[in-house]
Structure 1
């Protein structure tokens, strides 16, 4: 790696660190679900509201992100986002009630546009032969952030179960979930400070007519003999209009026939990526694992393994994306993901729930064993039927509070098969459409509309992600685990067929070459 490549890597790494903050924000909440539910007495839909509030917030942010990053620049937009992450983290820790927590997390959701802006910025500064790797860094930092969050949650949970005096003194037992959310504060502060070190995007500078500044930035990223040709390509790609397109004009441009293929590709990827159900597992990881009957502590530990698997397979995708190409990785990964979720659905469909006398006696210290006698020896064929019976016997509040141990005492399931299926799904997602979606978004749209296009399709991702997060607790209580996994597996299968027809290969092509290729395809 020469000096210019190291410089590009440094700037990309700084911007991609925002993905680490996103990963923390997304996964830290997963460990707080049971504690927040108990403290604030939340229903399924209220739990979904707490978890999905950032996903709702980003929908509004994305409506103006394109305008902000085009008018103020990529760098200033990233600085605003970093400040929002920090404010949200502090407000979440201090939230006195359900409404305040939702508001604080909604504020953080306004910063979730960091993902689309990071891929845009990195795609605009990266040399063509490094773009796949550098844009994928965003996904790597996300999964590292997820992994760090799961590990931090696990450590805090273990500390809260310890009898050490210092644990009581700092309030970890009493405020377990607040300590979990507080993990985000320091990294968010660090990212805000680091962003002052990056330059503005040279492509944005050219769009604004600031050619000398763009040349200076390119001089830091490319060898001297490559600066002029690259600058000429950028100028040519932005010369489609003699004046800067207005926000309304750029939105209209997306519906122009010349961009039809890029738009269909972007829309397909934007829907398929979140409809895999990845956020249901990532944002509710301990809850998902508790459904297999392994218990709360083990569920938190499994969440740590999810983070590690995510990191390993994202790094593997990073190493292969510019060698094998985008299309093979996406198609193989989605097929693997669908098969994995079909396995999970099969495992839960064949699960049985029976409380015998030994199980009831073991639960006596945690629930009203007498109230469970009416369920003694009764076999339930689904988690939904079993939970409804528990609500009737114990009361919904008590049953929810002890749901993990009750499932653990009653379930008969091939746990290994289901856990392996979930881990394979996580691996497949992070090996394929997880990191590659942002790479493709950074490549397939022309420079003059990219500031609108990427946030626009990130908005589609966010809307679908929000719906997945908001309704997962309700789905789990009313549809059951088998039906949920089957739905996601079927969605992936449909998405695979769509991308088999639409998805192009873009490896080792400059942004301008990709634009020309898609234009020829549309002609």
Structure 2
């Protein structure tokens, strides 16, 4: 590996580390749901608000991300994002109310644009043969961050249950969720420092007429001859875009014009399907999801840790193969496998029954000093909704939430193996396909003149869907039940599969300029019209 390639990898790794911070921020909250709900006496929608607040914040950030990236540069945008992550993490740990916690997490959501900006930056510095791997590193960092969060949450939960002086002295037993959220602070500070060591994007420099500086940056990534060729290609591409990025309104008009209709439809479908199949409901509420299987709280946290490990393994597999097999096979076959896995979960939950025996009710009543459960003795419920509603009516909502994991573990009769295989299969398929490949495609299919608007806009679309999935998952769990939720996710995946089969191109081993010529050629325009 020569110095130029090493420098490309260094810059890509530093920028992609923002995905690690994102993964931490997104998944650490999964372990805190039950503690925060109990401390602040939250309703289903309030729980959803805490978890989804970053997803709401990113909606606003993405509206101006394109402008900041085009006017001030990708590098400065990343520095601002890193600072927002730090501010959000500190404020979340210190939150003294539901409102303060939601506000702090909203600020963190402003930093979630790190994914789209990172994809943009890496796509603009990476050689064509390495671009797929390097952009997909964002997804590796996300899943490593998710896994680290699940592992940290599990360790903190286990430590909080120890009867030791140091646990009490550190407040692990009384401030468990605050320790979980504090994990993010140090990595975010490290990322902010590392970002000062990366150069500005050469394509942004050309767009702003800093040709000599762009040439110097390119020579850090390529040989002098390759740098000259790349610079000429970039200049030609910029000239096609009137020598500067189009304004936001001009970019939007161009994006949905007949010439770029195919790229816009690909972006629209990828942005919606990646999120509407429920990935963030499963990842951000992982312990809650596994409690529905009847695993109990500690086992549910452990299964969440397994989810993280599966995510890492299959994302690494996708990164190793995305430039060898291509983008299209990974997405099409991965989405098919994920949809089948979701249907498995739906079927297993639809066959589940819930019943408490006299011995279980007697033991639970003695342990927790609760009353009113006698009329539930040996009563079989055919859905989790009926069972939960009856429990809440007899012991109260607050008591039910405090012991939901234990009660579901005692009462649930379900094919747990089928559900676990289905969930793990979906997680594996997602991280082998549409998870990392979406960002690769976003970095490739949009012309330079509209990229600063297009990537954040379709990332905004994905974020809107993600926000809705996160916000309403607790409410859906209480009113629809697990079976219908997984059915909805599976149908959404099937629709996305059909659409992408018809329109998704192959872009491996092509320069961004070659992809532009392919997607926006007269033949393409005629075929789409």
TM-score grouping bracket, smaller chain normalisation = over 0.9
Cα deviation code 1:448-506 (max 9, x no counterpart): 11011000000000000000000000000000000001110110000000000010000
The aligned residue for residue 491 of structure 1 is 492
The aligned residue for residue 53 of structure 2 is 53
Give the Cα separation in 1 of the matches to 2:417 and 2:360: 21
SS at match of 1:238: helix
1:256 CA displacement: 2.6
Give the Cα separation in 2 of the matches to 1:358 and 1:475: 31
The aligned residue for residue 329 of structure 1 is 330
Give the Cα separation in 2 of the matches to 1:285 and 1:367: 26
Cα deviation code 1:46-70 (max 9, x no counterpart): 0000000000000000000000010
SS at match of 2:333: helix
- Structure 1 segment 242-281 matched on structure 2, within 5 A: 242-244=242-244, 245-281=246-282
CA contact (8 A) 2:241 2:448 kept: no
The aligned residue for residue 118 of structure 1 is 118
- Structure 1 segment 128-147 matched on structure 2, within 5 A: 128-147=128-147
CA contact (8 A) 1:82 1:188 kept: yes
The aligned residue for residue 158 of structure 1 is 158
SS at match of 1:250: helix
- Structure 1 segment 495-506 matched on structure 2, within 5 A: 495-506=496-507
More displaced, 73-82 or 361-370?
Answer: 361-370
Give the Cα separation in 2 of the matches to 1:57 and 1:366: 42
Is 1:236 matched with 2:231? no
- Structure 1 segment 193-212 matched on structure 2, within 5 A: 193-212=193-212
Give the Cα separation in 2 of the matches to 1:388 and 1:327: 45
- Structure 1 segment 20-169 matched on structure 2, within 5 A: 20-169=20-169
1:509 CA displacement: 0.3
1:511 CA displacement: 0.3
Give the Cα separation in 2 of the matches to 1:383 and 1:363: 19
Cα deviation code 1:171-199 (max 9, x no counterpart): 01110000000000000000000000000
CA contact (8 A) 1:367 1:402 kept: no
More displaced, 202-211 or 353-362?
Answer: 353-362
- The 1:490/1:219 distance shift into structure 2, 3 A limit, reads same
Give the Cα separation in 2 of the matches to 1:241 and 1:291: 53
CA contact (8 A) 1:81 1:113 kept: yes
- The 1:241/1:150 distance shift into structure 2, 3 A limit, reads closer
SS at match of 2:354: strand
The aligned residue for residue 345 of structure 2 is 344
- The 1:122/1:309 distance shift into structure 2, 3 A limit, reads same
1:242 CA displacement: 3.7
CA contact (8 A) 1:23 1:142 kept: yes
CA contact (8 A) 1:368 1:394 kept: no
Give the Cα separation in 1 of the matches to 2:132 and 2:481: 38
Give the Cα separation in 2 of the matches to 1:517 and 1:447: 14
Is 1:305 matched with 2:303? no
Structure 1: give runs of 5+ residues left out of the alignment.
none
Give the Cα separation in 2 of the matches to 1:155 and 1:82: 26
Give the Cα separation in 1 of the matches to 2:83 and 2:169: 31
CA contact (8 A) 1:334 1:429 kept: yes
Is 1:360 matched with 2:361? yes
Structure 1 runs (4+) greater than 3 angstroms displaced: 365-370
Is 1:522 matched with 2:525? yes
The aligned residue for residue 182 of structure 1 is 182
- Structure 1 segment 337-486 matched on structure 2, within 5 A: 337-486=338-487
CA contact (8 A) 2:348 2:418 kept: yes
Structure 2: give runs of 5+ residues left out of the alignment.
none
Task: Give the TM-score normalised by structure 1.
Answer: 0.99
CA contact (8 A) 1:360 1:369 kept: no
- Structure 1 segment 286-301 matched on structure 2, within 5 A: 286-301=287-302
Cα deviation code 1:292-331 (max 9, x no counterpart): 0010000000010000000000000011100100000101
Give the Cα separation in 2 of the matches to 1:30 and 1:10: 31
CA contact (8 A) 2:82 2:111 kept: yes
SS at match of 1:113: helix
Cα deviation code 1:386-413 (max 9, x no counterpart): 0000011111111121111111111111
CA contact (8 A) 1:48 1:473 kept: yes
CA contact (8 A) 1:14 1:194 kept: yes
Task: Give the TM-score normalised by structure 2.
Answer: 0.98
Give the Cα separation in 1 of the matches to 2:525 and 2:326: 22
Cα deviation code 1:226-246 (max 9, x no counterpart): 111111111111102445333
Cα deviation code 1:83-138 (max 9, x no counterpart): 00000000000000000000000000000000000000000000000000000000
- The 1:241/1:147 distance shift into structure 2, 3 A limit, reads closer
CA contact (8 A) 1:322 1:507 kept: yes
More displaced, 55-64 or 252-261?
Answer: 252-261
1:366 CA displacement: 4.3
SS at match of 1:322: coil
Cα deviation code 1:138-181 (max 9, x no counterpart): 00000000000000000000000011110000101110000000
- The 1:135/1:350 distance shift into structure 2, 3 A limit, reads same
